[in-house]
Structure 1
Amino acid sequence: MQRSALILAGGKGTRLREQEKALLVCKDKTLLENAIYVLDQVVDEVIVSVRDHKQQEAFSEFVQGIKLLCDQYQSKGPLAGMLEGMRAAAGNYVFVVACDMPFLQPDVIDLLFKEAAGHDAAIPLWKDGRKEPLHAVYNREQLIPIIERSILKDDHRVMNVVSQLYDARFTSVDRIQLIDRELVSFVNINTPADLVQITKKGVYDHG
């Protein structure tokens, strides 16, 4: 099974004072570079989604040799990037991840690909019912038409798209914790304070 990965980097970072999340530096690497480094260990291709040509130009020096796609639909949130990435992916199964998750774990991503095989998706599920749709593997053939319909209906909610998948598998976070003991896979950056705290973490070390 050919594997693809899509990094969603088109967010505006409003809670980070309009800084580009993907280009924030932590331990001498941008978050984007770190994500690509980890994903290269478990997938056959990495795709990066950005919102417009200005952002595409800003990111180009960090993603050489990687597909860097602009959203066709503007102001549609992550779904716009997911649609372009799914359309461009060579693999039928695509790991989708937000660019602000600095502690991605190759073994967790590998598990999700294995869980998704033969199904519409593999999505981490917390005990309280919360899901992690932006750290999940999707069957692109099943997902593309659902996203297209949702965008045409002006419904930009990722979870509404996920709810329409007929055969999605939900992988318990308890199971993921056997691989990622501290569940650092799901740590993300939303504010400047988050970045300061994450910078101090010793677990950010992928070589």
Structure 2
Amino acid sequence: MSESAADVTGVVLAGGSSSRFEDGNKALATLDGETLVERVVRALSSATKQPPLVAVRTEAQRDRFSRTLPSAWDVRFVMDDDELTGPLAGLLSACETASTRWLFTVGCDMPLVDASTVTGTFERATRTAACHPCAVVPVSRGQYEPLHAVYRRESVIDCRDRLSVDDGFGALLTELGDVDYVDIDELPQVGQASVTNVNTVAELERVAADVE
């Protein structure tokens, strides 16, 4: 029997500096009338039936996002782990805060993620009751997508002491060991568009043209 959606917490990784985006604040750029962070939060909330965690690096980021996200969504914020850098710092803080067995992480710059993506990847992680992997990471066009993946919370926490300040998701995946790398086309209802990330204004304009 697979585990229920209630056993997974959505995590939005939003602590980056957006250095390649013109105003340095890509999470608050808009696509089809919504900010990127709103689109991601809405998708995670719909799939997990609970408010996601939004991981930020600074209090200023937390304040900006809290003013942007509807209060009715009851979003919870966590501060990035001070002893790590990059999105991995957000995942570790989320693991310490969440109470569910699983976490689905997604970057705040992935505005095309949707609820079926979360559900499909989570179901892959929990399909076999006897032996779950530590993580399910989609592979898109030969590239791993660790910022669009499901992680077993306790497995990530167990790796904490073996991670160094400059480590990224590659180091985490090596430490986890038991990772299910799956071609994104093998995940039900999950397509290549779901892992599209936006780093520049030009990339956002291309995504907007495809959405229209």
- TM-score bracket, normalised by the shorter chain, equals 0.7 to 0.9
The answer to whether the 8 A contact 2:84-2:167 is kept is no
Q: Which residues of structure 2 form unaligned runs of 5+?
A: 127-131
Match of residue 185, structure 2, among 174, 185, 196: 174
Identical pairs, percent: 29
Match of residue 187, structure 1, among 193, 196, 212: 196
Match of residue 173, structure 2, among 149, 162, 180: 162
Match of residue 16, structure 2, among 5, 11, 14: 11
- The letter of the residue matching 1:14 is S
- TM norm structure 1: 0.88
Partner of 2:121: helix, strand, or coil? helix
Query: d(CA) in 1 for partners of 2:140 and 2:206?
Result: 23
* CA-CA distance at 1:37 after TM superposition: 1.2
Deviation readout 1:124-167 (Å, 9 max, x if unpaired) = 02453x211000000010012314421xx334221111122132
Partner of 1:154: helix, strand, or coil? coil
Q: CA RMSD in A?
A: 1.8
Partner of 1:40: helix, strand, or coil? helix
Q: Compare 63-72 and 138-147 and name the one that shifted more.
A: 63-72
The answer to whether the 8 A contact 1:3-1:45 is kept is no
Deviation readout 1:4-50 (Å, 9 max, x if unpaired) = 01000011011003421211111111011111111111113300001
Quote the residue 2:129 is aligned against.
none
* CA-CA distance at 1:62 after TM superposition: 2.8
Match of residue 95, structure 1, among 95, 101, 104: 104
Match of residue 76, structure 1, among 69, 73, 85: 85
- Asked if 1:149 corresponds to 2:162, the answer is yes
Kindly tell me: are residues 29 and 185 of structure 1, through their superposed partners in 2, closer, same or farther at Cα, counting changes over 3 Å? Answer: same
Query: d(CA) in 1 for partners of 2:65 and 2:83?
Result: 18
Query: d(CA) in 1 for partners of 2:199 and 2:171?
Result: 23
The answer to whether the 8 A contact 2:53-2:78 is kept is yes
Question: How many residues are aligned here?
Answer: 198
The answer to whether the 8 A contact 2:83-2:165 is kept is no
The answer to whether the 8 A contact 1:16-1:190 is kept is yes
The answer to whether the 8 A contact 1:51-1:71 is kept is yes
Deviation readout 1:75-97 (Å, 9 max, x if unpaired) = 71111111111111121100011
* CA-CA distance at 1:72 after TM superposition: 3.5
The answer to whether the 8 A contact 1:96-1:137 is kept is yes
Partner of 1:57: helix, strand, or coil? helix
Runs of 4+ aligned residues of structure 1 deviating over 6 Å after TM superposition are: none
Partner of 1:174: helix, strand, or coil? helix
Kindly tell me: are residues 127 and 199 of structure 1, through their superposed partners in 2, closer, same or farther at Cα, counting changes over 3 Å? Answer: closer
Query: d(CA) in 1 for partners of 2:170 and 2:179?
Result: 12
The answer to whether the 8 A contact 1:51-1:74 is kept is no
